[in-house]
Structure 1
Amino acid sequence: MAQGKKKISSAFIYFFGSFGGILFGYDIGVMTGALPFLQTDWHLENAATLVGWITSAVMFGAIFGGALAGQLSDKFGRRKMILMSAIVFMVFSVLSGVSPDMGEASAYYLIIVRMLLGLAVGAASALVPAYMSEMAPASARGRLSGLNQTMIVSGMLLSYVVDYLLKDLPGEWAWRLMLGLAAVPALILFLGVLRLPESPRFLLRNGNEAQARKVLTYIRKNPNEINKELESIKETAKEESEANKKATWGTL
């Protein structure tokens, strides 16, 4: 897509922007249905601490994924980091679903896997809205924030629906499929973002103005609008660079 002249529709951009929220929401909600089956299968009814860690491990990992996402995307690019996050999400969703039954050690395995999964959840939830807002026209950027929140709760709803549909399976299969099926929206996100170009903001900040202009021609109609946006990005990048030089731990 990045090599052609066909414009990328805003609907296509927003659609795959929404999937970042769906990934986040699905993993927040899926344990609601999976946990009772997991507790019974692994005999964790009286292991409140382990159950608590299994449940919250994704959110713990997401703290670090979200914190690191911005710096890594500035270095490697928004698109590449979203694709990497989707891959990590797929891999560790599947690994969650195929957790080995090794007694108490199984719980620690699942905690670690879900923490690593959380890195991708946090990164995707931070990067996807940022990327989409940089791709979208200025008039539509404000709405993306609300759309992302809507998709998070939609992802939670989707997880409840999946949990309900799988509840009559044998317990040892039910929770595994509930967790493993999180790989499906991650795959959809990966395939969608694979067709998108890099953010023009990232390209311009890395000295590739020609490619940034080319990307903007895919998604902007007016050449004057493109010139104006390029100047705006340059000005914002300059202001951010100056602000970063003044930032200290005291500021934080």
Structure 2
Amino acid sequence: MVNEKKISSGFIYFFGAFGGILFGYDIGVMTGALPFLQHDWNLQNNPGAIGWITSSLMFGAIFGGAMAGQLSDRLGRRKMILISSIIFAFGSILAGISPHNGILFMIVARILLGLAVGAASALVPAYMSEMAPARLRGRLSGINQTMIVSGMLLSYIVAYLLKDLPGTMAWRLMLSLAAVPALILFIGVSRLPESPRFLIKNNKMDEARRVLGYIRPNKEQIDSEITQIQETVKEEEKVNQKASWGTLLSNKYRYLVMAGVGVAAFQQFQGANAIFYYIPMIVEKATG
């Protein structure tokens, strides 16, 4: 069990947010790899293939994010993050060893990566919010965002360091090295405890109390939080028995759903993804 030795709250929060590195690295790595890949596979006049290779990650992330919630309710947040890191490492290596002109192979590998990225992007904020006390949740969600942009920065640095390698080796290494942070995440999260909320929901009260003992300063706070989580779980179970997809469109929730979906949609429509993925090609086309 991961709970035999006391684990510092800093270690828990750091590796709880580390999944953001994977998300950021894989957003950014294609920025550096794409110019080399396009020249190696002669894709300059095949924008459809470039678009599919690039966006297939997000296609997989749709399904990874959608499945992660239900699976984590059954298996646990920690276990699902571990599974996501394994899938991510496997997908990274597959992308790096794609056969020459293996466009379909690369797309499938990127979709597999997307499953892991989508799951991690859904699970990491949930895990962090369930581990952190209320007063720290905003700050810790900021750590997750910092991890995402740090992953992007890391991918740019790796691309810069590898740019002088032969073209076919450069992009393959850029993509394959994403397996390294995935391995670090797996090792770190394997030492983390499960979310206390998941443990309480599954009637593992002693384990939940032990986990909260790592990250809450006093016994009274632990007892109070356990009671609060139990009440929330009971309330959710009552709501879930009555809820359906139609509930999302009811007057009570319609505007909340529109706000949540709208914020997520406009984050994509505002165009930053085009910059993340295609800026070297845009600059090359503009300046020669």
Alignment correspondent of 1:158: 154
**Equivalent position SS for 1:251:** helix
Q: Indicate the residue corresponding to 1:248 in structure 2.
A: 244
Higher relative contact order (CA 8 A, sep 6+): 1
Aligned residue among 212, 215, 234 for 2:211: 215
| Counterpart check, 1:140 vs 2:140 | no
Q: Of residues 107, 111, 130 in structure 1, which corresponds to 2:126?
A: 130
- Aligned residue for 2:175, secondary structure, equals helix
- Opposite residue 12 of structure 1, the aligned amino acid is F
CA distance in 2, matches of 1:22, 1:215: 25
Deviation at 1:200, TM superposition (A): 1.1
In the alignment, the residues of structure 1 paired with residue 191 and residue 203 of structure 2 have an alpha-carbon distance, to the nearest angstrom, of 23
Q: Find the counterpart in structure 1 of residue 43 from structure 2.
A: 44
Aligned-partner Cα distance in 2 for 1:209–1:131: 18
Indicate conservation of the 8 Å contact 2:3/2:211, yes or no: no
Q: 1: distance between equivalents of 2:83 and 2:174? A: 23
Cα RMSD after superposing both structures? 1.3
Q: In the alignment, which residue of structure 2 is the partner of 1:95?
A: 94
Letter in 2 for 1:95: L
d(CA) in 2 for partners of 1:125, 1:250:
26
Q: TM-score, normalised by structure 2?
A: 0.83
Output the CA distance in 1 between the equivalents of 2:17 and 2:245: 34
Query: Aligned to 2:184, what secondary structure does the other structure show?
Result: helix
What is the rounded CA distance, in whole Å, between the counterparts of 1:72 and 1:110 in structure 2? Answer: 26
Mind listing any 5+ residue stretches in structure 1 that lack a counterpart? none
Query: What is the CA–CA distance in structure 1 between the aligned matches of 2:5 and 2:146, rounded to whole Å?
Result: 32
Q: C-alpha distance in 1, partners of 2:8/2:129?
A: 14
Number of equivalent positions: 248
Check whether the contact 2:71–2:80 (CA below 8 A) recurs between aligned residues.
yes
Matched to 1:125, the amino acid is: S
Distance in 1, matches of 2:123 and 2:180, equals 19
Runs of 4+ in 1 over 4 A off after TM superposition: none
* Deviation, structure 1 residue 236: 1.1
The 5-angstrom pairing of residues 27-106 of structure 1 reads: 27-101=26-100, 103=101, 106=102
Of all paired residues, the percent bearing the same amino acid is: 71
List alignment gaps of at least 5 residues for structure 2: 249-288
